[in-house]
Amino acid sequence: MRRPLSPTLAKLAEKEVNETPDRIQQDIIILRVWIRQQPHLRARTDDDFLIAFLRRCRYSLEQTKRRIDRYFTHYNLFPEIMHNRCVTQRLLDINRLGVCLYPDMPKGDSRTALFIARFGHFDPNLYMLREIYHFTSMAMEIVALENDYASLAGICEIIDLEGVSSDKMRRFDRVVFRKWWNWLYNCSPLKVKEMYIINMPKDIQGTIMFLYNLLSMQVNYPIRVLKSSEELIEHIGKETLPEEYGGTNGHMGECMAYMEDLLNSYRGYFDQDCNYGTIEELRHDEITVYEAEFGASGSFRKLNWE
């Protein structure tokens, strides 16, 4: 049973994603029938999952079908992230690093939900970047199902570069990053509405600004570079930020505990993840291969880093 929306969220749903209560069940049935008719597609069909994708696509059925297909196609194209998504002790340890934080609920009426990435908080000698993204893909799926602010208003992403050294940048897995960026933009059930980059060390400014200029041309949301955490308050507001960033929306430790509780409650959900994906040999249309998505002439053009 889908949880009811508050009056405030119901207005937000209609305004932001064209959601009307009398249409939801009909669209869910249409999607389930369509999924069953696709011989190559092994997709989840529970209400919350389909609603998350409908919201991401503003209830356009055709766009929702394409995004769901891309999402499960990436089980083959992006196995580093989308295979073996189980709740393990190592995954819980990554959550406790505080590299990726999801504050529980925004305290404003129509604020986007927050996602805070702190890549200076993991040791590349102990954890690979693909493990961080592996955790993040699972966390984002949970948030899409659990946090109505996130699925309706989208997410505001904060990239905190404190502690990211030039040595870490040299060891940065660029191939995984390209694939992750494509997944986030074209497959994720959550929509990024805005992005802020803060605490940029001087020795990596050249590399980061190159990426900033490149990525700004490829997305339809603003990416802003700020000098300090204090500037975040001017853009986002204290009621949404954790106390460590000058806000009033709880502590980072509470964010980690909130996500750990969610991960543990979703163990059975992710244990079933091995049942999903695509069988490309059964696809009626053109088979999606790695080069079609990530090659120099593919839908996600190759990024030059030099």
Q: What is the pLDDT along the chain (306 residues), one digit of tens a residue?
A: 578 888 988 999 999 999 999 999 999 999 999 999 999 999 999 999 999 999 999 999 999 999 999 999 999 999 999 999 999 999 999 999 999 998 865 545 557 888 999 999 988 889 998 999 999 999 999 999 999 989 999 999 999 999 888 887 777 787 888 888 889 989 999 999 999 999 988 888 777 777 777 777 777 888 888 987 788 888 888 888 889 998 888 889 999 999 999 999 999 999 999 999 999 999 987 545 444 444 434 433 344 433
Task: Assess if residue 69 is contained within a domain.
Answer: no
pLDDT of residue 86: 96
Task: Assess if residue 160 is contained within a domain.
Answer: yes
Task: Assess if residue 77 is contained within a domain.
Answer: no
246: left (phi over 0), alpha (psi -120 to 50) or beta: left
d(CA 20, CA 205): 46
Task: Assess if residue 24 is contained within a domain.
Answer: no
Task: Assess if residue 106 is contained within a domain.
Answer: yes
Sign of the alpha-carbon torsion through 50, 54, 56, 60: positive
197 lies in which domain range?
89-266
The pairs formed by 44-51 with CB atoms below 8 angstroms and a separation of 24 or more are 44/276, 47/2, 48/2, 48/145, 49/145, 49/189, 51/2, 51/24, 51/151
The two three-digit tokens of residue 240, written as one number: 């949404």
pLDDT of residue 1: 52
CATH of the domain at 127: 3.40.525.10
Task: Assess if residue 66 is contained within a domain.
Answer: no
Domain count, the chain: 1
pLDDT of residue 165: 82
pLDDT of residue 104: 65
Task: Assess if residue 102 is contained within a domain.
Answer: yes
pLDDT of residue 105: 57
Strands (E), the chain: 41-42, 100-101, 113-118, 155-160, 192-198, 223-225, 277-278
pLDDT of residue 117: 94
Task: Assess if residue 180 is contained within a domain.
Answer: yes
pLDDT of residue 281: 93
